[in-house]
Amino acid sequence: MSLVPIILTNFTAGELSPRLAGRVDVSKYFNGCQRLENFLVQPHGGVTRRSGMRFVAPAARNAGPSLLAPYEDAAGAGWVLEFAQNDAGAGVLRFFSGSGRVLNADGAVMELATPYLAGHLSGLCWVQDRYSLILTHEAFAPRKLSRTEDGGFELTTLALVDQPESWAEDNWPALCCLHEDRLVFAATPKDPFSIWFSRTGEHLDFRLTTREVPLDDWDDFEITDTNGDSLSDGRPGDTILLLAGDSFLKNTAVSGVMSDGTLCYYRYIGARSVSAGTSSSLRMTLAASPGTTSAIESVRDAAGDLRGDCWEMFAIGDRINADPGDDPLDDDAVELTLSAPRGGRICFLAPRDKLWVGSTSGEWTVSGSSVNTPVTPGGVKANREGTCGSARVQPCQSGASLLYVQRSGKKVREMAYRLASDSYTSQDLTLLSTHLGEPGITQLALVQEPDPMLFCVRDDGVLLAMTYLPEQDVCAFSRIVTDGAVEGVCAVFNASACRDELWLATRRVAVIDGVEVERRFIETLAPVFDETAADTRAAFFVDAGMSYSGDPVRRLEGLEHLAGRRVQILADGAVQPDQTVAADGAITLDREAATVHAGLGYTSALKPMRLEYSGQRGSAQTRTKRIIEVGLRLHRTLGGKVGPDASRLEPLLYRTSSDAMDGPPALFTGDKSVRFPQGWSTDGVLTLVQDQPLPMTVLLIAPTLAMNE
């Protein structure tokens, strides 16, 4: 028998598929785990226990899910928008910012009515255009959520200019984005592979062929001030000079000067016509009520109002529709239909150097027809880049890559430009963790600060966390499992804390009079345990939890949302026995405390792959062995257990004789060694568990194997 020391230095491969249980020849094997639950992989290699979920408010409706969307205001503050159907059966939009609901100027809770009911939420798409949010759904005309002067919001139907004729009831664009200063819509039910670009710089103008005022063929007529008001603004009494042979009739345009000195043009749309003789000129007088053949209706009446029934007014640079047969201008709107080889639809739009388009049949890029040229009506090109297909899940942009869900809904893929092949390619990021995509991914959210991490909502309510740093070869999945289910997520930037916040729509259970009742909440994922925290008083490791800070109390209230549930308690940094929440939302502590965190408990578990050691007599796989000791390198940790499996765990002990008996032990950073009994087997596995509301960060695991030679 010989003793073999093994060292596991990082976990940057995350939880690996059971299919890799025998691939000890793959380098990722040694950085992976059989189980990684409620831990987050740090880009540096270690794993840290994920923080708890802090309760913010009940959701708009217990009987149906909510959709969360991010919004950022002019000051850079992040808002969370909750779309839902309320108990009255109407669509509602609620607002969150900071740590709670947003109030309007009158001090009431801010909310708006919407047309979007529970069945519409999965198909809702949005894009922020400056300080407005544009919303699309195939069953409704596009809408705009914009700020009001009093700091509130209003939801209005988007006033589009000359929208496509096919857009009508139940046939509206399902997708939207901004690209090259154009608003882009796509995928109506009747035209699922069509894309519409607005005019450049005019996001609401979808006219395909326009002309800019003044038109080249407009006659050079000018209004002359002859009514004594020193303005050439077309009021009664002003005149227009027609030279010999000139005619004045419908669509004739004249130029004038407004009171502020602005040059403008007026186009006559009335029915009268006036002509000068072939050998003499004619001065035509503008009159509010024409009485002679030499008079024409005034541009402005005596009160100064524009005569809209007879004239159109334009500023220089305004656009008007071109005549039939004219070619479009480069900045006119564009309509494009992809030549898809089979059925399906466009599923996402992603503005990059080109417009990246995901459809059920593959991935596309849309760009100008030449290198480094913008999209124009006369120069647009669509290239099919891949055939993987995508699901109807909004993607996330990370650096130079795009992260999206494949058509099956079970794989996360990365689309990026590859210099080696000079093409856009897509790779499967879940290849080594294929089991985690079951039963399907329904939503993505990307957090970039403090560490880049993609969160994926699974259809069964499990939340996947993928630490993603491709330049450091870090792509590590772990599972976030909570007592209940996560139904939706969104990420917003917290300017005061200089980090991204993850907001969650959750479904949980309360117990009322012995009967389980379904409840839905809005929660936030608490920040990673602060490196500067002096002790565990700041540790928040409970779900649907709340905190109290103030004078020492024995009775804690405010947990009505968890009535009847058993909750874990961290009081003044020390773990107290679990308590059942009373119907009025109160619990009674064993001891008074000034800082209390209480909520649903969860277990964090780490189980590395089968240990491998290649010695002179070959691999350790399938050979009889036992783990006799495990060394752990920990960082700012308390609590935890380690053992051969979840049923045989040895506690990690921290308290020393120097610790004060009336307070929690100090956070531990350093090495711990644990010996535990285990029989001989061929497995060579161990399990690390943290089931108390305390922090744990694991930097290294060093087991010692006893092996038969």
> What are the tens digits of pLDDT across the range 423-442?
899 999 999 999 999 999 99
| Pairwise CA distance, residues 13 & 699, whole Å | 14
Which of 282, 316, 350 is where one domain is finished? 316
Least confident of 151-165, 279-293, 625-639: 279-293
CA angle 263, 266, 267 (to 5 degrees): 150
Where does the pLDDT of residue 695 fall: very low under 50, low under 70, confident under 90, or very high at 90 and above? very high
Q: How is residue 562 annotated by DSSP?
A: G
Beta carbons of 522 and 56 less than 8 angstroms apart: yes
Mean pLDDT for the stretch of residues 408-422: 91
- Residue 541 pLDDT more than 70? yes
| Pairwise CA distance, residues 488 & 67, whole Å | 6
Q: How is residue 653 annotated by DSSP?
A: -
Beta carbons of 457 and 436 less than 8 angstroms apart: no
Which of 550, 579, 601 is where one domain is finished? 601
Mean per-residue pLDDT over the chain, rounded = 91
Which of 260, 290, 316 is where one domain is finished? 316
Note whether residue 677 is domain-resident.
yes
Task: Read off the pLDDT of residues 466-478 as tens digits, 9 standing for 90 and up.
Answer: 999 998 999 999 9
Least confident of 127-131, 195-199, 548-552, 617-621: 617-621
Task: Read off the pLDDT of residues 577-629 as tens digits, 9 standing for 90 and up.
Answer: 999 999 999 999 999 999 999 999 999 999 999 998 876 667 888 888 888 99
For 320-376, the DSSP string reads: EEPPTTPPPPTTS-EEEE---SSS--EEEEEESSSEEEEETTEEEEEE-SSTT---B
Beta carbons of 411 and 464 less than 8 angstroms apart: no
**Which pLDDT does position 205 carry in this prediction?**
95
Mean pLDDT for the stretch of residues 412-433: 91
Q: Are residues 657 and 616 in the same domain?
A: yes
**Which pLDDT does position 273 carry in this prediction?**
87
What is the domain count for the chain?
A: 3
Sign of the C-alpha dihedral computed for residues 620, 621, 625 and 626 taken in this order: positive
* Stronger pLDDT, 77 or 10, i.e. the higher one: 10
**Which pLDDT does position 709 carry in this prediction?**
65
CB-side neighbour CA atoms (13 Å) of 494? 20
Token output for 77: 């503050």
**Which pLDDT does position 639 carry in this prediction?**
94
Task: Read off the pLDDT of residues 288-319 as tens digits, 9 standing for 90 and up.
Answer: 776 666 678 889 888 888 888 889 999 988 99
**581: Cβ–Cβ under 8 A, 6 or more apart, which residues?**
559, 560, 562, 563, 564, 565, 566, 567, 587
User: Quick one: what percent of the chain has pLDDT higher than 70?
Assistant: 98
CA angle 541, 545, 548 (to 5 degrees): 95
Note whether residue 337 is domain-resident.
no
**Which pLDDT does position 658 carry in this prediction?**
67
CB-side neighbour CA atoms (13 Å) of 623? 19
Tokens 């990059």 belong to 352
Q: Are residues 228 and 284 in the same domain?
A: yes
| Pairwise CA distance, residues 574 & 586, whole Å | 19
Beta carbons of 136 and 173 less than 8 angstroms apart: yes
Beta carbons of 613 and 705 less than 8 angstroms apart: yes
Where does the pLDDT of residue 519 fall: very low under 50, low under 70, confident under 90, or very high at 90 and above? very high
Sign of the C-alpha dihedral computed for residues 313, 317, 323 and 324 taken in this order: negative
**245: Cβ–Cβ under 8 A, 6 or more apart, which residues?**
276, 277, 278
Please give the backbone phi and psi of residue 471, each rounded to the nearest 5 degrees, phi first: -65, -20
Q: Which amino acid is at 40?
A: L
Token output for 148: 């009001």
Pairing of strands 253-257, 221-224: parallel
- Residue 1 pLDDT more than 70? no
Q: Are residues 303 and 224 in the same domain?
A: yes
Q: Are residues 699 and 613 in the same domain?
A: yes
Where does the pLDDT of residue 218 fall: very low under 50, low under 70, confident under 90, or very high at 90 and above? confident
Show the DSSP H helices in 382-422 as ranges.
none
Closest alpha carbon to 637 in 546, 545, 529: 529
Note whether residue 595 is domain-resident.
yes
What is the distance, to the nearest Å, from the Cα of residue 538 to the centroid of all Cα atoms in its chain?
A: 29
Where does the pLDDT of residue 422 fall: very low under 50, low under 70, confident under 90, or very high at 90 and above? confident
Q: Are residues 622 and 694 in the same domain?
A: yes
Please give the backbone phi and psi of residue 670, each rounded to the nearest 5 degrees, phi first: 150, -160
Closest alpha carbon to 556 in 584, 524, 587: 587
Q: What's the whole-model pTM score? A: 0.91
**Which pLDDT does position 431 carry in this prediction?**
95
Note whether residue 491 is domain-resident.
no
Q: Are residues 276 and 231 in the same domain?
A: yes
* Stronger pLDDT, 329 or 289, i.e. the higher one: 329
Most confident residue range from 49-53, 350-354, 446-450: 49-53
Where does the pLDDT of residue 325 fall: very low under 50, low under 70, confident under 90, or very high at 90 and above? confident
Beta carbons of 131 and 148 less than 8 angstroms apart: no
Task: Read off the pLDDT of residues 222-250 as tens digits, 9 standing for 90 and up.
Answer: 999 998 888 899 998 999 999 998 988 88
Q: What is the C-alpha radius of gyration for the chain, rounded to an integer number of angstroms?
A: 34
Domain that holds residue 243: 214-316
Note whether residue 617 is domain-resident.
yes
| Pairwise CA distance, residues 695 & 608, whole Å | 20
Tokens 């999965």 belong to 122
Beta carbons of 17 and 430 less than 8 angstroms apart: no
| Pairwise CA distance, residues 433 & 363, whole Å | 23
Note whether residue 554 is domain-resident.
yes
CA angle 142, 143, 146 (to 5 degrees): 150
Exposed/middle/buried for residue 287 (C-beta within 10 Å: 0-12, 13-18, 19+): middle
**633: Cβ–Cβ under 8 A, 6 or more apart, which residues?**
670, 671, 698, 699, 700, 701, 702
**297: Cβ–Cβ under 8 A, 6 or more apart, which residues?**
270, 272, 286, 287, 288, 290, 307, 310, 311
Note whether residue 328 is domain-resident.
no
Tokens 């779900």 belong to 543
Q: What is the dihedral of CA 402, 408, 411, 417, to 10 degrees?
A: -30
Q: Write the secondary structure of 419-480 as one string of H (helix), E (strand) and C (coil).
A: CCCCEEEEEECCHHHHHHHCCCEEEEEEECCCCCEEEEEECCCCEEEEEEEHHHCEEEEEEE
CA angle 402, 407, 410 (to 5 degrees): 85
Q: Residue 621 is inside which H or E element, if any? A: none
Where does the pLDDT of residue 661 fall: very low under 50, low under 70, confident under 90, or very high at 90 and above? low
Determine the straight-line distance between the first and last CA of the chain, rounded to whole angstroms.
6
Mean pLDDT for the stretch of residues 206-214: 93
Note whether residue 351 is domain-resident.
no
Q: What is the dihedral of CA 538, 540, 544, 550, to 10 degrees?
A: -20
Q: Are residues 629 and 554 in the same domain?
A: no
| Pairwise CA distance, residues 591 & 687, whole Å | 33
Where does the pLDDT of residue 418 fall: very low under 50, low under 70, confident under 90, or very high at 90 and above? confident
Count of residues for the chain?
A: 709
Exposed/middle/buried for residue 2 (C-beta within 10 Å: 0-12, 13-18, 19+): exposed
**Which pLDDT does position 617 carry in this prediction?**
67
Q: Are residues 653 and 566 in the same domain?
A: no
Q: Where are the beta strands (DSSP E) in 88-215?
A: 91-97, 100-101, 111-114, 125-129, 132-137, 140-147, 153-157, 175-179, 182-186, 194-197, 210-212
Beta carbons of 524 and 504 less than 8 angstroms apart: yes
Q: Are residues 614 and 559 in the same domain?
A: no
Pairing of strands 362-367, 263-268: unpaired
